[in-house]
Structure 1
Amino acid sequence: MIHITDNSSGPLHRVPTTAKLLSLLILSVLLFATTSALFLLALAGCILAVALICSRAALAQWLMAWTLLFTIAVVVTWTWVSSGLEAAIVVLLRLSALSLFATIVTATTTIGQFIDTITALARPLERIGLANARDIGLAIGLVVRFIPEVQSRYAAIADAHRARGLKMRIATVVVPVIIGTILSADEIANAIDARSIRAQNAKRD
């Protein structure tokens, strides 16, 4: 079974989830607030260095996310055609740096940490009656974690096909992805039950 989380005990694993999410927000603002290719290149270089030093698993996962990389390539190509090479380079650096850093965050944070952090951040909304903090934390946490999970499973299956010289077919790719995703539901259910989220929601109902 493939897990998106890098289970090695690196320095990024010990950084609080709130700090990592805040860093991702600040980075997003910095990346889109400037059009300087040199500044963006420096930021991208720093993020790449962090990945190489602290979380090579995250870098590997990012490189295997072919749908993400293909999307970036399409956007960059369109920008090049419509706005020129310099604008395309800026877009490339922005999207690459942001997506890589987001991958580092998800690779060094467990699903339980995501749920707990998002739930805590949503408490003010619950106090004023706008939403249920536990439901928000569960929903966002699962989405953030599950998209890279499915991508990693697909990449592993595609690599296995290429290693065996097999053709990529829907039945031999989609079915294993679905089965693997269903099997991982036990782990997710355990994380939910450990925090008594379903039990607490049932009492409120």
Structure 2
Amino acid sequence: MISVYLQKESWLHRLPASLKLLTVAVASLLLFQVKSVWVFLPCLVVVLLLYASLGRGGLAHLKLLRSMTLFLAILLALHWFSGTFWDGIAVIMRLVVLILAANLVSITTRMDDMLEAVQPLFRPLQWFGMSARKPALGVTLVLRFAPHMLQVFSLLREAYQARAGTKGSWRLLAPFAIQSLRMSDNVAEALKARGGSEGLSR
């Protein structure tokens, strides 16, 4: 269930999950107000240095960008044809910075720590007799597995390229959907074995 997590002791691992999530959330709000490439460039350098501080294991997670190349290329082409090339560069850099930052939180935060950090957001549900832990678990799973699914798509694309000689195809959608459903079944079985959202613990 937690294959994305990087088993390592580092200063990033020791930071509270709530602080890391809050930092990414605030950075997202600020960066969506920025349109200058020269602002995103130092942000990208900082994120890459954070990955480098984790050693080879951290740098290996930068392969996540491979699964995004086709999407980013299409996005840049659309901006090129519309005459807003530099705006497209800014959009791409914003996406790369935020996705890498979110993935950095995933690989340096245990799932139960992330769950405990998200759960206070849903505590008002308890006033109505509803569980705050279940929706918190749903959000945590999305945060945890979004980077993992990008890695899965990247592996499928590499396998297809090795066989067909082309980088991408709509034919990847079917095996990607199958892998997604298979993973969701495995996660559901693992959660059930642990007693559901209430049984998930360190």
Letter in 2 for 1:137: A
Matched, 1:22 2:22: yes
Paired residue for 1:44? 44
Matched, 1:134 2:137: no
Cα RMSD over matched residues? 3.3
Paired residue for 1:150? 149
Aligned partner of residue 8 in structure 1, secondary structure = coil
Paired residue for 2:109? 109
Offset of 1:181 from its aligned partner?
5.1
Cα offsets for 1:149-204 (capped at 9, x unmatched): 333334445556666x589977x94556654553454444455547337xxxxxxx
Aligned partner of residue 5 in structure 2, secondary structure = coil
Paired residue for 2:59? 56
Aligned residues: 192
Structure 1 stretches (4+) deviating beyond 6 angstroms?
166-170
- Does the C-alpha gap of structure 1 residues 129 and 75 become closer, same or farther in structure 2, counting only changes over 3 Å? farther
- Separation in 1 of the partners of 2:179 and 2:99? 26
Alpha-carbon contact 1:43-1:97 (below 8 Å) kept: yes
Alpha-carbon contact 1:5-1:107 (below 8 Å) kept: yes
Alpha-carbon contact 1:57-1:107 (below 8 Å) kept: no
Cα offsets for 1:103-156 (capped at 9, x unmatched): 111122232222222112321x22553963112102111222233333333444
Alpha-carbon contact 2:47-2:100 (below 8 Å) kept: yes
Identity %: 24
Contiguous gaps of at least 5 residues in structure 1? 198-205
Aligned partner of residue 122 in structure 1, secondary structure = helix
Letter in 2 for 1:144: L
Paired residue for 1:84? 84
Offset of 1:88 from its aligned partner?
1.6
Alpha-carbon contact 2:5-2:108 (below 8 Å) kept: yes
Letter in 2 for 1:129: F
TM-score with structure 2 setting the length:
0.75
- Separation in 1 of the partners of 2:153 and 2:36? 36
Aligned partner of residue 141 in structure 2, secondary structure = helix
Alpha-carbon contact 1:2-1:153 (below 8 Å) kept: no
Cα offsets for 1:12-59 (capped at 9, x unmatched): 122111111101111112211222221111111111111122222432
- Does the C-alpha gap of structure 1 residues 192 and 139 become closer, same or farther in structure 2, counting only changes over 3 Å? farther
- Separation in 2 of the partners of 1:5 and 1:152? 13
